[in-house]
Chain A
Amino acid sequence: MAERLLTFDIFRYNPATPEIPPRMQEFQLEETVGMSLFIALNRIREEQDPSLMFDFVCRAAVCGSCGMLINGRPGLACKTLTQDLGEKITLMPLPVFKLVGDLSVDTGVWFRYLNVRTEAWIHTDQVFDPKGLEERMDNPTAHRIYEAERCIECGCCIGACATANMREDFIGAAFLNRIARFLIDPRDERPAAHIFEVVGTDEGVFGCIGLMACDDLCPMEIPLQGQLAYVRRKMALVALRGK
């Protein structure tokens, strides 16, 4: 492989030093075989600028903390290889989320708030019996739940969403996917009408204009078009039935 000299154009801003305005800063780095953005950013921090802020934990597309705008598109830095990009690479933090500094954003508060607001847990009156036999679930249902559960909450679908960018209170694909998971789950005894109050709104599924950037850019390739359509049909049925 011919060695390339990569130029990284990286967004810099530290809210702790507001006197230094947001800016783009260039770094140059020689490409190595199989280099991911994770490796590149760590080398820049170690060799060129120890103040560069970015998030990483797992390096394996599991933790969802390294979501950022790579050449303008949301993606996971650990999963993106420099060989798939040009010689000039622009990196910016994910929009919508609160900036911690440089490429690091706080997705935690956002997801936590929506988890509480949509009550993203099983609602049941059944008392758990730790000694009893586990209730069986048919395989297709389990698979559908698992499909939604693969979400790693990296926030790429939110950063890619025009509605979420324009409207702060829009719950976005990550949460509509989460809602789909509970609508599918037979253990959740909540009636759809209960979920409708939060999700059948312009902040919920009816705020979605179907631009499908979430579906195209989800690093986990969750079929978000189908998940969103499922929630939309369910919520429309509640509106039509009037209960």
Chain B
Amino acid sequence: MILQKTLAKSPRLEAWMELLELASGLFLLGFLQFHLFNVSSIILGPAYFDHDHNWMVYTGIPLVVLAIGVHGVVAMRKAPWQFQEARIFLQHSKRLAHLDTWAWLVQIITGFLVLILAAIHIFSVLHNWPIEAVKSTARVQGGYFSFLMLLLLVAEIHAMVGLYRIMVKWSWYKRQKFTPYLVYSTMFFVGLGFITLLVFYFRSLPKGLS
């Protein structure tokens, strides 16, 4: 027995951390795709986009910010923080040349990018409250197109690789069976987001707002 390790050991807490990572991850995945569908309503026209959704936003944004914080903290607990650990992981990944192992590095990098980009995104939207088709159009045309495209890509990749990992870790299905469906879904969501951004980019704005 080693005193400090035995005293610090708590299987229950360690299990709950894992479940918290799972639950917050699933919640954020649901939110991301729901958010994407909502925003893509601009494809049908501004009338579909500009409806009163404030009640949803006022409860939703604090919840999402909280979930991002919780998920960030619990997911980061396993990252190779120490320099030596990071080197071991990179050398191991190179030797192994194994896609799933590299995917973890993708998760860590996209996770960090989402943290930074989502913070900027939420701030820029709150700064110019409320959400309206005209304002969103002005934002996309005013230099945010590539920023939002990058956020869309890293968020979707992080979310879908995360979903893959969840299904690998918890489900009854062999990963070879569900992987193609996850790839198609990722392509669908990224495609939908890209079309949405294009619609925003090429919409004509009333004078004085461009």
Decide if A202 touches B14 in the complex (CB within 8 Å): yes
What's the interface size class on A, roughly? 35 or more
Q: How far is the CA of A223 from the CA of B170 in the complex (A)?
A: 14
B73 located at the interface, meaning its Cβ lies under 8 Å from any Cβ of chain A in the complex: no
Give A217 to B101 CA distance when docked, in angstroms: 12
The smallest beta-carbon distance between A224 and chain B, in angstroms, is: 11
Interface stretch of the complex, out of A35-43, A102-110, A225-233 = A225-233
B171 within 8 A of A: yes
Taking the nearest CB of chain A, how far is it from the CB of B103, in angstroms? 7
When the two chains form their complex, are residues A206 and B15 in contact, meaning their CB atoms are under 8 A apart?
Answer: yes
The proximity string for B residues 77-115 relative to A, scoring 1 for CB distances below 8 Å and 0 otherwise, is 010100001001100111111101101100000000000
A201 touching B95 by the CB < 8 A rule?
A: no
Pick from B14, B95, B171: contact of A72, CB under 8 Å: B95
Binds B, one of A114-122, A136-144, A158-166: A158-166
In the bound complex, what is the Cα–Cα distance between A239 and B14 (angstroms)? 9
Report Cα–Cα, A212/B100, bound state, in Å. 7
Return chain A residues, CB-CB under 8 Å to B174.
223, 225-226
How far apart are B197's CB and chain A's nearest CB, in angstroms? 32
Whether, in the assembled complex, A174 has its beta carbon less than 8 Å from a beta carbon of chain B, the answer is no
B 53-92 to A, binary, CB cutoff 8 A, 1 in contact else 0: 0000000000000000000000000101000010011001
A55 to B188, CA, bound (A): 51
Q: Which residues of the partner chain A approach B101 to less than 8 Å between Cβ atoms?
A: 162, 211, 213
B96 and A72 contacting across the interface, CB-CB below 8 Å: yes
CB-CB under 8 A from A162, the residues of chain B are: 89, 92-93, 101, 104
0 or 1 for each of A147-187: is its CB under 8 Å from B? (1 = yes): 00000000000001011011000000000000000000000
Report if B11 contacts A (CB, 8 A): yes
List B contacts of A160 (CB < 8 A).
Answer: 96, 98
Residues in chain A near residue B89, CB distance under 8 A: 162, 165-166
CA–CA, A217 and B170, complex, Å: 20
In the assembled complex, the CB of B102 is this many whole angstroms from the nearest CB of chain A, namely 9
Which A residues touch B171, using CB under 8 A?
229
- A160 CA / B85 CA spacing, docked (Å): 15
Q: Is B182 an interface residue (CB 8 A)?
A: no
**Contact among B100, B172, B175 with A213 in the assembled complex (CB-CB below 8 Å):** B100
Q: What 0/1 readout, one digit per residue, does chain B (167-206) give for beta carbons within 8 Å of chain A? A: 0111110110000000000000000000000000000000
Q: A residues 193-243 with Cβ under 8 Å of B? A: 196-198, 200-202, 204, 206-213, 216-217, 223, 225-226, 228-229, 232-233, 235-236, 238-240, 242
- Minimum CB–CB distance for B59 against chain A, Å: 26
Tell me the smallest distance from the CB of B75 to a CB of chain A, in Å: 10
A216 x B98 contact (CB < 8 A)? yes
> Provided the pairs A229-B170, A229-B172, A239-B16 are in contact, do residues A197 and B95 lie with their beta carbons within 8 angstroms?
no
Closest to B174 in A: A225
Contacts of A95 in B (CB 8 A): 92
Q: A206-B17, A226-B174, A236-B18 are in contact. Are A200 and B169 (CB under 8 A)?
A: no
Query: What are the 4 closest A-B residue pairs judged by CB atoms, nearest first?
Result: A239-B15, A72-B95, A210-B169, A206-B18
What residues of chain A have their CB less than 8 Å away from a CB belonging to chain B?
Answer: 69, 72-73, 92, 95, 160, 162-163, 165-166, 196-198, 200-202, 204, 206-213, 216-217, 223, 225-226, 228-229, 232-233, 235-236, 238-240, 242
